[in-house]
Amino acid sequence: MSLLGKLSWDAIPFDQPIPLAAGLLVIVCVAAVLVWIVVKGYVPYLWKEWITSVDHKRIGVMYCALGLLMLLRGFVDAIMMRSQQALAFDAPGYLPPEHYDQIFSAHGTIMILFGAMPLVIGLMNFVVPLQLGVRDVAFPTLNSVSFWLTATGALLVNLSLVIGEFARTGWLPFPPLSELRYSPGVGVDYYLWAVQISGVGTLLTGINFVTTILKTRAPGMTYLRMPIFCWTALASCLLIIAAFPVLTATLAMLTLDRYLGFHFFTNEAGGNAMMFTNLIWAWGHPEVYILILPCFGIFSEVISTFSAKPLFGYRSMVIATLFICLVSFCVWLHHFFTMGAGGDVNAAFGIATSIIAVGTGVKMYNWMFTMYGGRIRFATPMLWSMGFLITFITGGMTGVLLAVPPADFLLHNSMFLVAHFHHVIVSGVVFGVFAGIVYWFPKAFGFRLHEGWGKATFWFALAGFYVTFVPFYVLGLLGMTRRLQHYTVPEWRPWILISAFGILILIVSILCQVMQLVVSIKHRNELRDETGDPWVGRSLEWTTPSPPPVFNFAVLPDVENTEVYVDVKQRALAEFAREPHYEPVEMPRNSPTGFVCAFFATFVGFALIWHIWWLMIAGLVGAYATFVVFAWRDVPDYVIPAEEVARIDRAARAARQGALASAAPP
């Protein structure tokens, strides 16, 4: 047993130019950024204001930054997959199978777990406490731990690019393929530990937000006065609490198989690999609702704001959300109708699956009626929402189609399926997240994003989406299965080429998105939001200045109406402007616990992947010691004196009063 376990120079892909060059490029870029930060003297600022911050707004922004970065990484994988298939008609293409298989596995893992999840959780982090009218989440330090553990997972996945390999099993590592006999390399181990470590972070987030929403709302904020986004966040976090332990246990069993010679899912000694498929989808199906429900919340907020109307059928929306939350746990078998469960079981789960569409259908109609009688402004967030309404409905339809067992017997695992889940996840989650980012960006940074570049991003994304993914439906109907590294059927080729062209349109969209950020930052003074309410919003976050002070609310708001803020505006601006009685505010102290914990967790993960046992023990001891130090702290909070609170709040009120008066309620 060597000191470095299985790690040796063989782990570096010297013989594979593509990952090596890509890895080197990434290392150079990261190093350049780090050097720039150090030289410019930004380290103390970053450490004090961001890395050790337990402010939910800062953590939310960091989550979104991580998510956007990983979205880019996942997109690079997508470019490689599309170009490989475009070249690989009756030819080997440029990516050999052992590399191509890693790319589609990494693409799925990164997009769902390290792209979409951080973006959704990031928006929840930023928005939920502001909408609830509170100063932070229930467990601020835990929140920081959650974020940094997610970052650890993302780091491990990206490390596999240069050191060793990633899983070659697909984004869900189905045994027996993922067992040691068929995947002896470290790829599956990278997957297991990256997902396990970030999964702990996600579970903690779920607990944190359920506690926050159930226990720490502003005075008068009854459940039925919460903005709909808070409801969807609650439903999503309830799903996290119920589903992520299933994932953890399932992956733990596979880990025991791989590390300690157990036989849960092996081909030998009575292992049953079907059980893995069963268990992983018991997590995997709720997981998609964990992603989509908060996005439904974002669309609800955006459509209501830009239609200048309250959400139509609020209670119906709440019921539909909880209905989806519950039923999403009763449908997982539709992922394996073709394992031969028999007519009764297949029919039962097929019907259960289509029942979910009732909840989604109700939401569709309520969004439609929210627009009815409104005064709709088509700003960028509303465009993303319109794109969603029109696109998601057909994506949902193909999903229900796949829930019909005999149709699934033709389309299971085909490109039609790939088209379906990209259809709903892109139009639902990605469009939702972008709507949310453009919508709340001024709240987070104090200036709006450039509208022109934002609209360009949207139109290219919409066109790119259709051109890329509609051909997948055709390919699925033409009998093409997913994950092919090369193929020999000539009829597939034109559609694959069209899809590759679609990727080019999506690249333009991403460039527009980057330009939007650059242009907006450059022109931030013209785009500055003085009012704190750039969109004429309808919930509590718009009563705070942009960006909100660290304590969010100088005085906790007393809430009397579903749409508190609008109500206040309508009743009397004067009342709103009357100065409240300021008191000192207690806020949680910054803490490096999350960062240090994740630092050690990274070593634990890396050591377990490479069987470096001493390093694993050292890492575990370090992480535990961090926890003990944190638990023994004497002073968890610091106090902002009343005069300071008053000073900050008066300035903000003065700036806003004039703006609000001029933008009188419609």
Partner 1 sequence: MALRWRVAWWAAVCPAALVVGSAAGFAETAPSVLSPAGPVGAGDRIILFDATAIMLAIVVPTMLATLGFAWWFRASNTRATYRPNWTFSGQLELLVWSIPTLVIFFLGGVIWIGSHQLDPFAPLSSKVKPLEVEVIALDWKWLFIYPQQGVASINRLVVPAGTPLHLRITSATVFNDFFIPRLGSQIYAMNGMTSQLNLLADRPGTYFGLSAHFSGDGFSDMHFDAVAEPQAQFAQWVAQARAKGPVLDRAAYRGLLAQSRPAAPYTYRAVASGLFDAVAARDLPPGEGPQTGRGGVAVVPRGGT
Q: Does 568 bind partner 1 (CB under 8 A)?
A: no
CB 357 within 8 A of CB 402: no
Q: In this complex, which beta carbon is closest to partner 1, that of residue 235 or of residue 273? A: 273
**Residue of the chain from 312, 439, 441, 606 that contacts partner 1 (CB under 8 A):** 312
CA neighbor of 448 nearest in space, from 301, 548, 300, 547 = 547
User: Which of 107, 168, 335, 422 is labelled catalytic?
Assistant: 422
Q: Residue 378 burial by CB count (10 A; 0-12/13-18/19+): exposed, middle or buried? A: exposed
Residue number with CB closer to partner 1 (313 or 592): 313
Among 86, 242, 478, 640, binds partner 1 (CB under 8 A): 478
**Pick from 42, 259, 365, 638: which binds partner 1 (CB under 8 A)?**
365
Name which position in 470, 515, 550, 618 contacts partner 1 (CB under 8 A). Answer: 470
Interaction of residue 358 with partner 1, rule CB under 8 A? yes
For partner 1, the closer of residues 446 and 464 by Cβ is 464
Residues 6+ apart with CB under 8 A from 52: 144, 590, 591, 592, 594, 595
Amino acid in the structure at residue 342:
G
Q: Is 561 in the site for partner 1 (CB under 8 A)?
A: no
* CA atoms of 419 and 432, how far apart (whole Å): 18
The answer to the question of residue 366 lying near partner 1 (CB under 8 A) is yes
* Least Cβ distance, residue 474 to partner 1 (angstroms): 5
Q: Show contacts with partner 1 in window 243-272 (CB under 8 A).
A: 267-268, 272
CA distance 366 to 296: 12
Selecting among 217, 420, 423, 538, the annotated active-site residue is 420
Q: Say whether the peptide bond before residue 96 is cis (omega within 30 degrees of 0).
A: no
- Give 490: exposed, middle or buried? Use CB within 10 Å, 0-12, 13-18, 19+: exposed
Q: How far apart are CA 334 and CA 345, in angstroms?
A: 10
397 binds partner 1 (CB under 8 A): yes
Is 422 catalytic? The answer is yes
Task: Pick one of 25, 35, 46, 274: the residue that binds partner 1 (CB under 8 A).
Answer: 274
Interface with partner 1, residue 497, by CB under 8 A:
no
Residue 496 binding partner 1, by CB under 8 A: no
User: Which candidate in 101, 136, 179, 529 is catalytic?
Assistant: 136
Q: How far is the CB of 11 from partner 1 (least distance, A)?
A: 4
Which residue of 313, 547, 580, 622 would you call a contact of partner 1, by CB under 8 A?
313
Rule CB under 8 A: say whether 17 interacts with partner 1. no
Q: Could you give the CA distance from residue 492 to residue 134 in angstroms, rounded to a whole number?
A: 55
Choosing from 57, 63, 296, 306, the catalytic residue is: 63
Catalytic residue among 89, 329, 369, 421: 421
468 is catalytic: no
Coil vs helix vs strand at 580: coil
- Whether residue 377 contacts residue 442, with contact meaning beta carbons closer than 8 Å, is answered with no
Write down the catalytic residue from 183, 202, 232, 531. 202
Strands in 498-568 per DSSP E: none
Which phi-psi region, left, alpha or beta, contains residue 411 (left: φ > 0; alpha: ψ -120 to 50)?
A: alpha
Rounding to the nearest 10 degrees, give the CA dihedral for residues 258, 251, 352, 423: -100
Q: Does 455 bind partner 1 (CB under 8 A)?
A: no
- The HSE-up count of residue 658 (CA atoms within 13 Å, CB side) is 6
Contacts of partner 1 in 117-146 (CB under 8 A): none
491 binds partner 1 (CB under 8 A): yes
602 annotated active-site: no
Query: Quick one: 248 or 272, whose CB is closer to partner 1?
Result: 272
- Largest Cα separation within the chain, whole Å, is 77
* From 53, 105, 109, 125, the catalytic residue: 125
From the list 211, 413, 561, 657, which residue makes contact with partner 1 (rule: CB under 8 A)? 413
- Please give the size of the binding site for partner 1, defined by CB under 8 A: 113
Mark whether 300 is an active-site residue: yes
Cis geometry, peptide bond prior to residue 13 (ω within 30 degrees of 0): no
Three-state DSSP at 415 gives helix
> Nearest CA to 107 among 169, 152, 164?
169
Q: Residue 27 Cβ, how far from partner 1 at the closest point, in Å?
A: 17
Angle between the 451-477 and 415-424 helix axes, to the nearest 10 degrees? 160
Whole-angstrom distance between the N-terminal and C-terminal Cα of the chain?
A: 74
136 catalytic residue (yes or no): yes
Question: Applying CB under 8 A, which of residues 339, 577, 629, 663 lies at the interface with partner 1?
Answer: 339
Question: Which of 455, 482, 524, 528 is the binder for partner 1 (CB under 8 A)?
Answer: 482
Catalytic position from the list 62, 80, 81, 253? 81
DSSP state, 590? P
Q: Would you name the residues annotated as active-site residues?
A: 63, 73, 77, 81, 104, 125, 136, 143, 146, 150, 202, 205, 212, 285, 287, 289, 300, 316, 360, 363, 420-422
